[in-house]
Amino acid sequence: MAKITLVDDDENIVTSVSLALESHGHAVKAYYDGASGLAALENDPPDLAILDVKMPRMDGMEVLRRLRRTSDVPVIILTSKDEEIDEILGFNLGADDYIHKPFSQRLLIERVKAVLRRAGRGEADEAAGPASAAEVSARAIKRGKLTLDPARHDCLWDGKPVKLTVTEFLLLQSLAQRPGFVKSRDNLMDAAYEDQVYVDDRTIDSHIKRMRKKFREVDPDFDAIETLYGVGYRYRET
């Protein structure tokens, strides 16, 4: 099962979430403020991080912002706020999913399973064994300067590594599988999100914007992801 780091200043939430995750076999490490949580995430990267938004010393958004400078660990954001702007900000910063408080343990477990599965760290991946991993590796994609290896979650551009979040990787994989073909935002949502996760067009646009920025950090002339306004996106092999 997965190593999960939980960062939340509410003892009741920490206790209930930890018990729920541990009852499904996950190993949970809990921290009660953003600064100590960020230090733990950087020093001992888990398979998944769960971050509360409102915390002392450093809020969850700032933890996520700093974490994304060096890590692509999957992140689920917890928040008691019910404002759309907070969710959009979280996705802009690289969150993989969002859960609003209060939430049921069942919802939490399903969201955790979904994110781990998308990251290739879930139950199905463990049960499949070496043969399945080899099959996945065989589906590595090479498109011009781009190399994507789903088995290792590796992305290279002209031989240089590009760190992508789980969601960014799945979006790029969907685009690169068929260069020149347009993918609507709905198509991309289906590729990157489970059925029970609902996002809007701006979320996909935010992920694409972040992805382009990362590629342009290694190649200022990167232009392989094209926008077709009112239609969607496509990958242009270079």
Please state the CATH superfamily assignment of the domain spanning residues 1-117 in this structure.
Response regulator (3.40.50.2300)
**Other beta carbons within 10 Å of 54:** 15
In contact, 8 and 58? CB cutoff 8 Å: no
Calculate the CA dihedral of residues 174, 177, 180, 183 and round it to 10 degrees: -20
Tell the burial category of 221 from Cβ atoms under 10 Å away from its Cβ (0-12, 13-18, 19+).
exposed
In contact, 33 and 10? CB cutoff 8 Å: no
- In this prediction, residues 52-74 reach a mean pLDDT of 91
pLDDT in tens, 166-222: 888 889 999 998 898 998 888 887 777 655 455 556 778 888 988 999 999 999 999
Phi, then psi, of 58 in degrees rounded to 5: -160, 125
Domain ranges of the chain: 1-117, 139-233
pLDDT in tens, 186-200: 888 777 765 545 555
Average model confidence (pLDDT) for the chain? 83
Q: What is the pLDDT of residue 125?
A: 45
Tokens, residue 186: 């709905």
Q: Look at domain 139-233 and name its CATH class.
A: mainly alpha
% of the chain surpassing 70 pLDDT: 84
